[in-house]
Amino acid sequence: MQFKFYKNPDRQLKQRRRINLFFVILFGIFIVILLKLINIQILDSEKYKIAARKQYENKIILTPYRGLIYDRNMNVLVSNSFEYSFAADPNMVEKPEEIAEIFSRTFGKSKEEYLTKLSSQNTAFIYLERRIAADKVFGLDTINMSGVIVLKEPKRVYNYGSLASQVLGFTNIDNKGQTGIELSMEDELAGKEGFIIMQRDGKGNNRPSLEFPTKDSENGNNVVLTLDVNIQRFAEEELAEGVKTFNADGGKVIVMSVKTGEILAMTSYPTFDPNNISVSDTNGMKNAVISDIYEPGSTFKIITAAASIEEKLEDRNSMIATENLNEIKGIKITDVHGAASMSFQQAIEQSSNVAFSKISMKLGPERFYKYARDFGIGIYSGVELPGENKGILKRPIDFSGVSLPYMSIGYEVLINAMQLTNAYAAIANSGTMMRSYIIKKEFGKEGKVIYDSKPVAIRQVVSEKTARTLTSLFAGVVERGTGIDAKIDGLTIAGKTGTSQRIIDGKYSSNSHNSSFVGYFPAEDPQIIITVILNNPKSGEYYGGKVSAPIFQKIANRIINFSGSTNISTQDYLILKT
């Protein structure tokens, strides 16, 4: 019996379909691979070239040196040194245990801490130690181990320690300015970073790449300040001594050139050393001269006095009723030096609150506000330092019934010490207000001058005649009045005292005061103005004439007797001698 085999057509069809499907899948895979290759080789070729280069190339940043900072006589206040930082490329480290052991032994930290860093994933750079002084690296600056990177980083050096530290400021761990001139002049001082491309050889060593250009770093420009390092020292030493003598919470001093507006010294207490910053230094870091605002008390009588003379409401011989206790608009104004009546001259010399309250009522809110504004109250001084608080000067529309008499004696108004100094300097300078400034010059490579500051007159606040009259009245304050403790034999000083109660727990306290004295000399041709303010003196004495005026006198005496050149004015006025 014979069997006949017939081909099954359905089975054949299924086989063909499987084969076709297999070829379609292969073709699809081929297309995907082809598209990927096109993408890698053509469309995204640059991206993958960069990624490949990153495996064997490093971009090393070349850090510039910050510009130097000088005082007016070219004494270097801030210079540069360097510190060492140690980093690693975990991808290139061959002996992590050995490296960790060396760093642990050198810096006294746990070996595991370094091992954790050395085994970091997805990074080609991680710091092991940052900014170590050269005398603390103990030879590690010459370490030659695969994957370890040694960096020499610039460091700021403040050559006079805490001197002028609030003006100069300081830089952070990345050498960026944080406060003071270091911050306000960051762009000018910082310079521009450069770079160099390094290639790793077969042993992991970095070598300069010849395929890419190197960009050199550009060092920052140098800055010359108007400060005089010697006058700054006098101001700081006498302020610190005064704070201790009168048991004050703190204090401020400004010394300025009357005719140019150049700041010769600026300081507040407490202070700090930018070379050795600690957590407790926070309060001393701020420049309280421009950042702190306060009610000035009787030093603010300059506004009412100047306005009343300019408006011909008063002259030195005008008589004013000054009963010891007087009611104005429902409030009581009292005088320490009470008298039934006083001449305008005596009212200034004895700082009569009653007299000035009455004069302000004759002056009126609008005129009072105009003169206060013209004297720079409630306006930024423009000094080239960060953190200035412009204070508060109420507009006449916001005055209450008692605002005017209170403001005339230095309450209900908030100012900073710089504004107060500028107001008195305008009177000392024949009524012309000058722009106060602290940046004298900026220069770059090979001494090329980029910026050279010049004195700038802002406005004529009062007439020269009014200014002369007021200066002679202020001279009487020191000769016979409340400022007698500022007197220096053989030298005519013009000035004004101020004492104001501070607000404690929401109300004025008779046990806490701000005490001040502003004076300038020689009164016949004023050159230097000094402002001294003490915060909350607690020694028993608290009047400005008793605590701030003596500090003024000591600073002025040291300036007068100083044997070096201070280059104070454009008139070659070098040394003030009696």
Q: Are 543 and 497 in contact (CB under 8 A)?
A: yes
Beta strands in 159-286 (DSSP E): 194-200, 206-208, 222-225, 250-257, 263-269
Q: Are 380 and 393 in contact (CB under 8 A)?
A: no
In the chain, which segments carry CATH 3.90.1310.10? 59-88+96-104+127-225
Closest CA to 258 of 461, 426, 494: 426
Question: What per-residue confidence (pLDDT) applies to 393?
Answer: 97
Q: Are 376 and 433 in contact (CB under 8 A)?
A: yes
Q: In CATH, what is the architecture of 229-561? A: 3-Layer(aba) Sandwich (3.40)
For the stretch 206-213, contacts whose Cβ atoms lie closer than 8 Å and that sit 24 or more positions apart, written own/partner, are 206/58, 206/60, 209/57
CATH topology of domain 59-88+96-104+127-225: Penicillin-binding protein 2a (Domain 2) (3.90.1310)
Judge if pTM exceeds 0.75: yes
Walk along the chain (578 residues) in steps of 10 and give the mean pLDDT of each run: 54 72 78 73 59 56 87 96 87 85 89 88 83 84 83 90 96 92 95 72 51 75 97 98 97 97 97 88 89 96 97 94 67 76 94 92 96 97 95 95 93 97 98 97 90 95 97 97 95 96 90 96 97 96 96 96 53 39
What confidence tens digit (pLDDT) does each residue in 518-560 have? 999 999 999 999 999 999 999 999 999 999 999 999 999 999 9
In the chain, which segments carry CATH 3.40.710.10? 229-561
Q: How many Å apart are CA 494 and CA 428, to the nearest integer?
A: 9
Task: Say which DSSP state 253 is in.
Answer: E
* Location of structure tokens 């908030």: 414
